[in-house]
Chain A
Amino acid sequence: MAVYRRGYQRYEGALTNHFGRMMVIPRYSWERILSQRFVTILLVVSLFWPVLCAGFVYLANHTELWQGLGGGLKRFLAINGRFFAVFMNVQSTFALIMAAVAGPGLIAPDLVNNALPLYFSRPMTRQDYILSRLIVLLGILSLVTIVPGMLLFGMQVGIAGFDWFIQNWYLGAAIFFGFLLYIGVVSLVALTSSAYVKWRVVAGALVLAFFFLLTGAAEMVNHVFRVDWASALNPAYALNTVWAGMLDIDIPDDKPGVMECATFLLAISGGLLAALARKLRPVEVVR
């Protein structure tokens, strides 16, 4: 019978589980974000570099193509931690731009339209809401970071063979967990910015500014007080240092090490999470 003739009946069927309900927000958000033309263009552009790197991997594994071109080129074409560090640095820039584009539209509209009571009056907690918003960004940012990174690593394993994998498996783990850490930090910055600034353009600019301003502030502290430890307060430096540690690349002795940088990143993530949770309340309480 047609819906308009049938009239309203209470739903009495089976309900979905908690995980299924939590994935509703990401599904709707992905659909909306991926329908934006700019996001599509950015996705395509962000794949140029992985394609170039794939060509590089192919060349590095086919020595017959560049025989007789010298030892310098051989060192240049080595697939090692430094190669993946360069790859990750470039892709992380695209991921940051993507977060600045996709992130601000995630929470601000819910706050402007007073939608939080609708979410929180359903079987969804504040933690579920934040987690589902993080999953949205994890999914989108993975497309430009983890997915091409792991494909590149898989390609290298496929061409170089199992022996190479046994010796370099930690590079795959470093790509996966390094990008995961990066996505976590960037997503928290984007969501917090979206929660506190309702204008999308300003919120997007704030995501980029967060990294530039802290970089500037860290350098300023280093110069004014003639110290080195303030580099750990630079999120870009901190992330690069943690990645370097994971990829087994040398870190300058006079700068903060992996542990200091990881501690700073954890602290800043905790701070952002607390700021986010503070803002996401179903009702405004005037004390």
Chain B
Amino acid sequence: MSSAVIEIDELRVRLGRREILQGISCRLGISGKGKAIGLLGPNGAGKSTLIQALLGFHKPSAGRARILGFDCHTQAREVKARIGYMPENDSFIGNLTAVAFLRLMGELSGLPKAAALEKAHEVLFHVGLGESRYRQIGTYSLGMKQMAKLAQAIVHGPELVILDEPTNGLDPAARQRMLQLIKEMKEQHGMSVLLCSHLLTDVEQVCDEVVILKDGVIVHQADLEAERKSNRRFVQLDVAGDDRNLAAALREIGAEGMSEAPGEWRIVLPADVEIGSLWRVAARERLQVRKLTHRRDTLEEIFLKAVGHIRRTPGDAPAEVPVHGRI
């Protein structure tokens, strides 16, 4: 039977007098399947605290979290032997070359000396730092440091890799390279990935599941794979004129539309409806089209809805109210 990679049950974390995580529960990933989970949320939502609680850095005030079947607090050693962590901020050991740094990290994770040295070279070539592996990490550029951080997280071949803002400060080419590496980690090497990012496109590109946190509670959990398979397209349509019948007209062509403000519509187009049909509907309704744009992606729609910036997605049931802290 396949089990979840991360199981969180009514987890509460209190830092000082503030309760940062307010009783969250979820089951994420499937052990051994190589899935990527995106962790999203606005600033201060509790993403980093959740990651730190999973790493055993914070003691839960109630509830529990398990990774690969081991309790993150009481069985921290077993958990940490199976995970790799890439912190958000610069984290290095001073005055070491990349090879020495990776070797040290490998040995600390339990690799024998010879294997650690071999893996250090191997993983540095893998992340594209092969030619500069004998340079001190302090002399690396920001992009190279990010790659070195990724390398130390996977040098010991963990089952779960936790990445905290891995594309921070990367130029577009380096960002693509990083995302490609993350994809390879899950698809070719069967690692599970927990990706914390505020860049929706990054999460959209590599993740199969997404969890959205807000104010210490999970406000949404979605299967992005299923969303992608549905092939829905999101369109923003701004019109001038009497648009009272537009919703009904859209339904006639199989699309769903919702007016957020006077003249501003968000429309979901199924895969078989052409964008041109929107022009025809607008002409029939005698509406002047002021703007017709594709929204960036499905995840943006999910995120904005989850954090309360839009009321709901067109086509969804209107009575969707998340239970406090539960999906």
Say yes or no: is B282 at the interface (Cβ < 8 Å to chain A): no
Q: In the complex, what residues of A have CB within 8 A of residue B125's CB?
A: 3-4, 7-8
Which chain A residues (273-287) contact chain B, with CB distance < 8 Å? 281-283, 285-287
B99 smallest CB distance to A (angstroms): 11
Chain A interface mostly helix, strand, loop or mixed?
A: loop
With A8-B126, A10-B191 already in contact, the answer to whether A113 and B94 are too (CB < 8 A) is: yes
Say yes or no: is B274 at the interface (Cβ < 8 Å to chain A): no
Interface size on B, residues (CB 8 A): 50
The stretch among A42-50, A91-99, A116-124, A177-185 that forms the contact with chain B is: A116-124
Which chain A residues (247-287) contact chain B, with CB distance < 8 Å? 281-283, 285-287
With A120-B55, A120-B57, A125-B76 already in contact, the answer to whether A8 and B122 are too (CB < 8 A) is: yes
A123 to B81, Cβ gap below 8 A?
yes
B116 smallest CB distance to A (angstroms): 9
Q: In the complex, what residues of B have CB within 8 A of residue A110's CB?
A: 93-94
- A-B contacts counted at CB < 8 A amount to 128
Q: In the complex, what residues of B have CB within 8 A of residue A21's CB?
A: 107-110
A121 to B55, Cβ gap below 8 A?
yes
C-beta contact mask, A63-103 vs B, less than 8 Å → 1, else 0? 00000000000000000000000000000000000000000
Q: In the complex, what residues of A have CB within 8 A of residue B15's CB?
A: 285-287
Nearest residue (CB) in B for A120 is B57
Q: In the complex, what residues of A have CB within 8 A of residue B157's CB?
A: 9-12
Give chain A's interface residue range (CB within 8 Å of chain B).
35 or more
Provide a sorted-by-A list of 20 A–B residue pairs whose CB atoms are within 8 angstroms.
A3-B122, A3-B125, A8-B122, A10-B189, A12-B157, A14-B112, A20-B110, A109-B95, A115-B94, A117-B87, A118-B85, A121-B80, A122-B109, A125-B76, A282-B57, A283-B57, A285-B58, A286-B15, A287-B17, A287-B18
- Contacts from B to A (Cβ < 8 Å): 15-18, 52, 55-58, 76-77, 80-81, 83-85, 87, 89-95, 104-112, 115, 118-119, 121-123, 125-126, 130, 152, 154-157, 189-191
**Pairs A-B, 10 closest by C-beta atoms:** A287-B16, A10-B157, A15-B110, A8-B126, A109-B94, A121-B85, A11-B157, A24-B107, A3-B121, A4-B125
- Contacts from A to B (Cβ < 8 Å): 3-4, 6-16, 18, 20-21, 24-25, 28, 32, 109-110, 112-115, 117-125, 281-283, 285-287
